[in-house]
Structure 1
Amino acid sequence: MNNLVLASSSTEADALENAKTRLAEASGTLGTLSSNLISAIANGTGGELAETDQTKLVDFAEQELLPLASAFAQALHDASGADTVVAALAAGHNGRLIEATKALETQEAPVQMVYAGARLQEAATAFLDNAAELIIPVLARNPALKLGGILPERTVEAASSAPATGGCACGGHDEPGLSELDTRVIPHAIRHATIFGALEGLTAGRGILLIANHNPLPLLAQLEQRSSGKFAVDYVENGPETWKLSMVRN
């Protein structure tokens, strides 16, 4: 469906696209941070590294996911003529994210961190999916609302002020310490945003193994423009059917 039809105006159509891009970036970051926590515990490193990854995931939820969920829920609650079913859905997502974030924040044992982290990832993924497909379109087509004014400002650090134009950042491991990001399963419209979000979740020395069905030269050019020198990129497999790139944060 054309977003210009969904939105109440051309301005709202632009805001709709920006919002979906932001959600895709959040999905990528969520995947990387969740994978980092699981990897730190599964590899037996535990200790301070696991606690650091726990803190980063909690901080991301508090600084990006919760403000988005709260803003959407409040806007739908206050709006006249809002879809009551979608409003209840948004409120439910907000409540589950709050509970899951608090649960992860209070865990001390590594195994409990894994369970709490998985619970937060599940709750956040459900929120991001429903936000993109249901909540944001409802907000954008309501003439009484301005989607651009509903979105909270970012407080998490970004690689660049330029927006990226989902996918999963966790999975098997082809290279030691690298979680897979298979771009073949990510919708084209949000692919780059998801990848850049995944890269934003990396700390120095950590990376992802990007898998694609073509040589991702446009992506690499955009990455160089956004984050010049911040990532070391090496081809692990260079076609002809599959390309795999190691992308490690410097």
Structure 2
Amino acid sequence: MSTYVITGAGSGIGRLVAERLHARGDALIVLARSARRAAELIAAFPGSAAVIADLADPSALAAAIDEAGLPAEIDGIVHGAGIVELGAVADLPRDAWTSQLTVNLVAPAELTRLLLPRVRAARGHVLFVNSGAGLNAHPGWAAYAASKHGLKALADALRGEEGPHGVRVTTVYPGRTATPLQEKVHEQEGAAYDADRWIDPASVATAIMTALDLPRDAVISDLSVRPGPR
């Protein structure tokens, strides 16, 4: 049995990864922004534990982790949470930049830093669910893409730094995936949402599980998942 910390376990890709890990008997530690949300997730994944903290406030993570009383070894962190607010550079307010950079980049960096001694002890794995926007920035996507480009840089640097400690680091770049986040993107774009046009989140979850379960003689450093032909 392995122990995984997961952000974004409440919906979308993170939810499916959590379901698969829990179903095979792995121990889950879910990050929840409130006690109510933590109770919901623990009910969904019996036997799991929770860290109660809001990724919008990374300064609160250290105290939340101390309070949670986590085990000395953590086999993996799956960074699945994220937010998006689209807009042209000429129009997007400062708060939209700050919130996306905080939740999508600063919080994962801080959570990783705080948990790294436990991950090192397990010779574990840090996996970042990034986005195609972490590789290419399109009009209207500047702030979100900047946060995801930064997340790629974080993963690349971490991989080089932690390899000597036996820690593996993976970034997964899903294309447009049929999740609640994608539905929100369509609302912001003013476009009709058709889930059948996009990647099934279960397919991305399969890619993530493949990376996590790869034998220790190898690591999937970067993995792009794109919509297949229709």
| Alignment TM-score, normalising by the size of structure 1 | 0.28
Structure whose alpha-carbon radius of gyration is higher: 1
The answer to which structure, 1 or 2, has the higher relative contact order (CA under 8 A, 6+ apart) is 1
More strand by share: 2
More helix by share: 1
